[in-house]
Structure 1
Amino acid sequence: MTHGLFVDLLIKTHLRYAVPQPSDLLLQIEVLSDAQQTCRHTRLHLNKDLPQREIPGADTAGPRRWVQCDALFDCRYETQVRIMRHEAPIETLPETPRLAIPGDVIPYMMPSRYCQSDLFLDFVATRFADLTGGALVNALSTWVSTHFTYDNSVSHSGTTATDSFASLSGVCRDYAHVLIALARAGGIPARFVSAYAPDVRPQDFHALVEVHLAGDWHIVDPTGMARPSEVAKICVGRDAGDASFLTSYGAIDLIEQSVDVVRLPT
């Protein structure tokens, strides 16, 4: 539950995949530790003492791991995370002046694999002509949430923002890609966020958006399922291609996968 300026979450994740041939996996499920979120009582267990190497977390990513496996990949991750993130009203935030945008933010203004923002320039300029900054982001997010239908049967790993825009449907990943593409088309840096959050239905890894306004990054959830003050970030990227929870360099088949996120009493 929320208490003052923080919320405590208990996160449990279980991944179980069949591995028909020896494969290298890049695992990206561990919560990022920074000034806004702190983990404790963390446990990560892999089956069979699989060979692994941890890659230390960067500014935008929690710890990642290379894992070598064959036959079976079974992973259990559990952590308690305290989130201390101020939830700013997006609609009141001014646009970051172009001259003040730092170099590491510029890539999030450009088209990317799943977010072809250049194809949305006319739509944003025509439909939202009088809006800038947080007011524009709020209007774009509202447009996505009101026009889209949440449907896990219409998209796949190759679905892009243009595909989802055409069907007006998808899952959280698709909602995020469309909002990112629209925000970039409006000149606002935007990036993909992989995270855990309570109240996500169905419970799973969750995809959200961060936009750069007033000189800082701010979380927006176009699905409306998660509050920024209750989001435990795993990593960010240009789109889902940078933030996959599991990347396999070889064939794997899903057996079982579960994510459970609950608020803890304080």
Structure 2
Amino acid sequence: MQRAVSAELDLDIGGSVDLIFQITAAQSVPLSSERLVFEQGGRTYTATEIVDQAGSRLHRLTAEPGLLEVRYEAIVEGRASETRTSDLEAITYLRPSRYCQSDEVFTQARRQFRGLSGEELVVAVDDFVASTVTYTPGLSLGTDSAVTTLMTGQGVCRDYAHLVIALLRAMDVPARYTACYAPDLVPMDFHAVAEAYVDGAWYVVDATRLAPRGTLVRIATGRDAADCAFLSYHGGSVGLSRMRVTAWAGDDGSGDDFRTLTRLA
């Protein structure tokens, strides 16, 4: 299956600033072509690429005051390769994290999903979050967590993912956060989903039900959104004046049955 993804970011830079981007396809994604460009005032920057243990590719550079234009595009051919998950990784994804406080939702999770395990549990958590949370763009804050979403019943994709992850971890299922490109997503943007570790494999859980899971393209993987931000910076100031994300798939993935387990392609 062929997929095409792109991202355009225009940043207003105030002062010398250390920028870290996570907008490229992950190391495991099979690419037939890729282009990443950073331009400012006629000058082209070369970023340093750093790959973390999950295969996420970070690009770091120091920019000066002015308008920085970031352009990324890639063509994906085929499915991503499967990577082995170590015992240490599995343990890490069982622990509470900043936005996924599994310890705080432990009692409700144990009461809500008592007696369930494996695929049945994953589907039940997915259904619960999908039916109790309303997708509400513009109302979610960057500091909102799984507990916030559980209390308010509203959020965007990152909030759905955080709540799914927290509930699964509370039920002793390793769960992680994945940032991705999502063909057919409406409104189009960077997307976030959860992944659950069941019987030695990772499966996508997207309680928003906004995009076919079989067409998603992995960008970054981590404990929660804090590990997968498309942009972070240190020193100076940064304003995002424009952002455009696109994602297209040759196979639109129609007919996705959210009650079956699916791996990220």
Give TM-score, length-normalised by structure 1.
Answer: 0.87
Do residues 71 (structure 1) and 71 (structure 2) align? Answer: no
Partner of 2:38: 46
2:55 to 61, 68, 81: 61
Question: Bigger shift: 45-54 or 101-110?
Answer: 45-54
| CA deviations over 1:231-261 (Å, ceiling 9, x no partner) | 1001100000000010011321121001010
1:139 to 116, 119, 124: 124
- In the alignment, the residues of structure 2 paired with residue 256 and residue 226 of structure 1 have an alpha-carbon distance, to the nearest angstrom, of 23
CA displacement at 1:156 relative to structure 2: 1.5
Gaps of 5+ in 2: 252-265
Partner of 2:21: 27
- In the alignment, the residues of structure 2 paired with residue 85 and residue 130 of structure 1 have an alpha-carbon distance, to the nearest angstrom, of 34
Per residue, is there more helix in 1 or in 2? 1
2:172 is matched by which residue type in structure 1?
A: G
Give TM-score, length-normalised by structure 2.
Answer: 0.87
| CA deviations over 1:118-167 (Å, ceiling 9, x no partner) | 01111111111121112111101111111111111221111111111111
CA displacement at 1:63 relative to structure 2: 2.4
Do residues 254 (structure 1) and 240 (structure 2) align? Answer: yes
- In the alignment, the residues of structure 1 paired with residue 35 and residue 80 of structure 2 have an alpha-carbon distance, to the nearest angstrom, of 24
Q: Cα RMSD over matched residues?
A: 1.8
| CA deviations over 1:159-187 (Å, ceiling 9, x no partner) | 11111111101100000000000000111
- In the alignment, the residues of structure 2 paired with residue 65 and residue 123 of structure 1 have an alpha-carbon distance, to the nearest angstrom, of 40
CA displacement at 1:50 relative to structure 2: 4.9
Query: What is the identity percentage for the equivalent residue pairs of Structure 1 and Structure 2?
Result: 31
In 2 relative to 1, CA 31–199 (structure 1 residues): closer, same or farther, beyond 3 Å? Answer: same
Partner of 2:10: 16
- In the alignment, the residues of structure 1 paired with residue 17 and residue 212 of structure 2 have an alpha-carbon distance, to the nearest angstrom, of 37
1:190 to 146, 153, 175: 175
In 2 relative to 1, CA 191–32 (structure 1 residues): closer, same or farther, beyond 3 Å? Answer: same
Q: How many residues align?
A: 244
CA displacement at 1:229 relative to structure 2: 1.9
Partners of 2:30 and 2:80 within 8 A in 1: no
2:161 to 176, 185, 194: 176
2:213 is matched by which residue type in structure 1?
A: P
